[in-house]
Amino acid sequence: MLTEEHKQLLKEKLEREREVLLTELSRLGAQNPANPADWMAAKPVGDEFGADRTDNAAVIEDMHTNNASLNELEGRLNNVLRALQKFTNGTYGVCEISGGPIEPERLDANPAARTSIAHMRDEHLLS
């Protein structure tokens, strides 16, 4: 069972991770103005499109690489934000599949975990 002190430590860890993720996402892209929860790959600073098709292809390849990284970071950020919201609504540490408690050691390893150890293989099924 999680103590309030343990929950507070995990919440602080999540808040620090949120800041790191936002910094990294900002380095690789920009928030979509139409949907601030969505991030878009940005053209690397100093890389400009021009007349040379080879140079343009390299810029586009860099943007695709950044997009893959953005998608992974965005997914992690969404999990961190979801976990922080659970502190607000009182459901932090509750398995989203069984409704039972998430083991403290699982939350220590991944404070944004959505399921207990028994259901962690099914976490990808959650929306």
Q: How far apart are CA 100 and CA 117, in angstroms?
A: 11
Judge whether residue 43 has pLDDT over 70: no
Judge whether residue 28 has pLDDT over 80: yes
Residue of 13, 14, 7, 43 lying closest to 28 (CA atoms): 43
Instruction: Please state, rounded to an integer, the average pLDDT across all residues of the chain.
Output: 86
Q: How far apart are CA 4 and CA 126, in angstroms?
A: 27
pLDDT of residue 66: 67
Q: How far apart are CA 18 and CA 29, in angstroms?
A: 16
CB-based contacts of 84, cutoff 8 Å, min separation 6: 11, 14, 15, 18
pLDDT tens string 102-115: 999 999 999 999 99
Judge whether residue 46 has pLDDT over 80: no
**What are the residues facing 40 on neighbouring strands?**
30
Q: How far apart are CA 2 and CA 60, in angstroms?
A: 47
pLDDT tens string 79-105: 999 999 999 999 999 999 999 999 999
Q: How far apart are CA 90 and CA 15, in angstroms?
A: 17
pLDDT of residue 57: 62
